Amino acid sequence: GQNIDQPTEMTATEGAIVQINCTYQTSGFNGLFWYQQHAGEAPTFLSYNVLDGLEEKGRFSSFLSRSKGYSYLLLKELQMKDSASYLCAVRPRGFQKLVFGTGTRLLVSP
């Protein structure tokens, strides 16, 4: 089975850097996804990691360590519009579904 853990809530200041962690216990997966979800809206894709290491995409970066069962999403130069929930998800090997964590609600203040 899969068990994905994320902090429930985080707060940060505009312009700062924040790291949202995701730990998982799973028997195997192909890739790890990060999605952003604003309140009342659909999740939108942020990043995908299949190999260990850091993937950078503008202000957002995502890191994966399979040996440690750990991923993080790094958000730089925070903006007010980054206030949202951030969802970590894996696609278990042999399955097409995504298994999501409960999400981390990020609140960015001025």
Partner 1 sequence: DAGVTQSPTHLIKTRGQQVTLRCSPISGHKSVSWYQQVLGQGPQFIFQYYEKEERGRGNFPDRFSARQFPNYSSELNVNALLLGDSALYLCASTPLLGDYEQYFGPGTRLTVT
Q: How far is Cα 18 from Cα 56, in angstroms, rounded to an integer?
A: 15
Q: List C-alpha distances in Å: 73 to 20, 33, 54, 93.
A: 5, 10, 10, 22
60 vs 100, which CB is nearer to partner 1? 100
Other CB atoms within 10 Å distance of the CB of residue 44: 10
Using CB under 8 A, which of 12, 84, 89, 106 touches partner 1? 89
Q: Tokens for 50?
A: 């299949």
48 vs 70, which CB is nearer to partner 1? 48
78 vs 103, which CB is nearer to partner 1? 103
**Residue 85 beta carbon to partner 1: minimum distance, rounded to whole angstroms:** 9
Q: Which residues bind partner 1 (CB under 8 A)?
A: 4, 30-31, 33, 41-45, 48, 50, 87, 89, 91, 95-103
